[in-house]
Each structure stands twice: as C-alpha cells, then as structure tokens.
C-alpha cells in the first residue's frame, strides 16, 4: 500500500447544442480534479480534492475516514451525503454516461460538511448510513443554526453486496433501498430543471423552512447487464418577509413538491462484467482485443414546482443513448446523444419545447 498517492481526473468534451441560447457548440474542459489520498494504515483514509470545472476552482472533497471495525466506517469532513445509490457507489469516471442522470443532479446534495457512520457487514445483506451535516452544500459553513439529517438503508445481494468476499464473481446481484434528507433552510433556490448538457430550462422559486427529500433505488446485475432505477420526491416549504424585520414571523406560502425518475440499462458488449464502483475492463479472453465496450440507454422524467397556485409548474421528459470505450484501466472515450421535451418553454427559448444534444468525451483518471 502506498501511504500517499496523487489522483487525477481530466475530462475534455466536444458539445453540440440545438441553439445558441442553450450553449455554444465546440470543445470544453468538463472537469479537472487533482487530489491526494493519504492511507498510511488500513483503518484510516484521508482525501483532499480540488475541482476546476467553472470560473473558479472549488473544494470537492476534504474528509478523513476511520474504520474501527471491519464493518464500520466513520467519516468527518466535506464528503458525499448518502443520497442515490448511483451517486454514492459509482464514481463519475466509472459511469457509462458522461454525466449523472438529471434526477440525481437536481435532488442530491453534491457534497456536505458533516459527520457520518456507514455500516456494511459482510455476514448480513444490509448496508446503511446515518449522517449529520450542514445541508448547504458549502465547505465553508452553514446558512443557519440548524443541522441537516440524512439516513439510508439498502438490502444487498449477490454482486451488489461488495462487502462480502467473492461478491464480484457473482452473476446476479440486487441493491434495493431508500434514503432521505431533512433540513430547515434559509432562503435558497428550490429544485431546478437542467438538461444533461447543462442548460437550465426551469428556474425555481425561492424556498425556505422545512425541506424534505426522499429517494428510492434499485440496482440489478445480470451477467453483462446492469439496471439502475432511481426515483425522488422533494417537498420544500416557502415563506416571505413582509416587513423587513427579521424578528417578526414570516408569511407562510404554499409548499411545492417536485418529483424525478431515471431508468438506465447498461450492457457490456465486450470486456469484464461491471462491479460496484468499477467500470468494465478489457478481457483477455474476449474475441475482441480492443478493450471494453459498453452501450447504455436511459429515460429521464422530471415534474417540478407542483402544488402551489402562484408557482408555474415545469418539468421534462427525455431519453439518452451512450456508447463508451474503455481501452485500458485509466482511459475512456464516449459519445452520447440526448433528446428532451420541456413541459413549458424555457425563458431563453420561448418558441421551443424540444431540445437535443450530442456530447463526445475523453476521460483520463489515475490513482483511484
């Protein structure tokens, strides 16, 4: 074991948009993530990662993980909260599509500052998390004096039960679980609608007060196939300040409810079968010696801003297709196409309810 090792993820895109209002066709640096992993002993792991993916670099990961028992991990710092199986268990460099499903991107908290416990016994087909954090998604602090609570519980069998020795060799596997978030927020945007290429077609209203998010997921393995189904619901309270005095009660407004659903099927055409958290690898016994090749299809549905007469509802229905080539264990090239129909035209495109996009990506990852 190397006690200190560098990590690097780099992704370069060529993106094609249907209209200039949604984006400009051409090359783009999707993300660059340099980092360090410190693991001097088996029971400790420290991770620090910075991401360059916009105008300014951000802290992506900054946490320490302790394993006092073989089945228990304790983490402290800025890390992923336990929402969505595909987000927690599958790093972005190992997924078949260039980016996460819209429901995951919209309903998750990307990172949160807090402490959690993760239990994963090898002898029992269960896996669970409990976390207390800020809920803001910021590495710098909270937006009020109240914490956010997360919990998740999964049943895991076969290949999905990664804590069990020999699970990776199983032909079949199943992960079935639920997760939730409860927090009380200051004024912030509600759940937005964004296309897979990053165009925001639904602008949310400001929410404040109680915010509850629940999600359910199913991940099934059958030989070279993997099925991932994830659905989410969020109920967000609203209020407004009518007199400018922070010491007086705010006026309550009707809460809004949003829903999302994603269904993905990935098929490894050539290469080793998918394992939890790992992409297919070239298979020396395959008739094709060009590496691993994977085909994936996905349905995405979003229903946003429901339940309040003063809020315009929005949402979308869409589909996606991707082909990804893994020539070796640290390099991938993919091509994906997306088709989306908006429930309501976007402000920037009042004359259109259909959108499409094509994305080609080359991905390099090392040290993970």
Domains of the chain: 71-366 (2.40.160.10)
Residues 263-277 have a mean pLDDT of 96
| Gap between the Cα atoms of 219 and 304, Å rounded | 25
Beta strand 200-202 pairing with 206-222: unpaired
| Gap between the Cα atoms of 182 and 234, Å rounded | 10
Is 230 in contact with 84 (CB distance < 8 Å)?
yes
Gyration radius from the chain CA atoms: 21
* Calculated CA dihedral for residues 314, 104, 256, 356, nearest 10 degrees: 0
| Gap between the Cα atoms of 232 and 181, Å rounded | 11
Per-residue pLDDT of 29-54, as tens digits, reads 999 999 999 999 999 999 999 999 88
* pLDDT attached to residue 152: 98
| Gap between the Cα atoms of 325 and 279, Å rounded | 10
Kindly give, in sequence order, each residue whose CB lies less than 8 Å from that of residue 276, ignoring residues fewer than 6 positions away.
89, 90, 159, 160, 162, 167, 168
In the predicted structure, residue 137 carries a pLDDT above the cut 90: no
* Calculated CA dihedral for residues 77, 79, 82, 83, nearest 10 degrees: 140
Kindly give, in sequence order, each residue whose CB lies less than 8 Å from that of residue 154, ignoring residues fewer than 6 positions away.
85, 126, 127, 128, 175, 176, 177, 217
Give this prediction's pTM: 0.94
Per-residue pLDDT of 145-202, as tens digits, reads 789 999 999 999 999 999 999 999 999 999 999 999 999 998 999 999 999 999 999 9
Is 177 in contact with 85 (CB distance < 8 Å)?
yes
């Amino acid at each position: 074991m190397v006690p200190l090792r560098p990590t690097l993820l780099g992704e370069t895109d060529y993106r094609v948009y249907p209209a200039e209002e949604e984006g400009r066709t051409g090359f783009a640096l999707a993300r660059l993530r340099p980092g360090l992993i410190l693991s001097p002993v088996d029971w400790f792991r420290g991770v620090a990662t910075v991401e360059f993916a916009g105008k300014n670099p951000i802290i992506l990961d900054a946490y320490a993980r302790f394993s006092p028992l073989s089945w228990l991990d304790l983490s402290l710092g800025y890390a992923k909260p336990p929402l969505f199986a595909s987000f927690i268990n599958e790093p972005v460099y190992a997924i078949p599509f260039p980016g996460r499903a819209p429901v995951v991107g919209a309903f998750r908290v990307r990172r949160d500052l807090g402490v959690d416990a993760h239990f994963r016994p090898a002898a029992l087909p269960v896996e669970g998390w409990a976390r207390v954090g800020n809920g803001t998604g910021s590495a710098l602090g909270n937006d009020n004096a109240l914490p956010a609570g997360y919990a998740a519980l999964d049943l895991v069998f076969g290949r999905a039960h990664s804590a069990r020795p020999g699970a990776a060799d199983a032909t079949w596997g199943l992960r079935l679980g639920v997760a939730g978030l409860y927090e009380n927020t200051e004024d912030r945007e509600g759940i937005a609608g964004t296309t897979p290429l990053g165009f925001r077609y639904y602008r949310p209203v400001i929410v404040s007060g109680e915010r509850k998010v629940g999600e359910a997921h199913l991940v099934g393995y059958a030989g070279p196939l993997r099925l991932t189904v994830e659905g989410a619901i969020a109920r967000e309270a609203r209020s407004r300040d009518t007199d400018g005095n922070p010491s007086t009660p705010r006026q309550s407004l009707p809460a809004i409810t949003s829903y999302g659903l994603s269904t993905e099927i990935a098929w490894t055409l050539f290469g080793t079968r998918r394992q939890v958290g790992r992409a297919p690898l070239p298979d020396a016994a395959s008739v094709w010696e060009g590496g691993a090749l994977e085909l994936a299809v996905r349905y995405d549905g979003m229903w946003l801003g429901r339940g309040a007469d003063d809020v315009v509802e929005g949402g979308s229905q869409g589909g996606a297709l991707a082909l990804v080539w893994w020539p070796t264990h640290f390099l991938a090239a993919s091509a994906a196409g997306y088709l989306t129909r908006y429930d309501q035209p976007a402000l920037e495109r009042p004359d259109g309810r259909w959108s499409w996009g094509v994305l080609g990506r080359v991905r390099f990852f090392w040290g993970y």
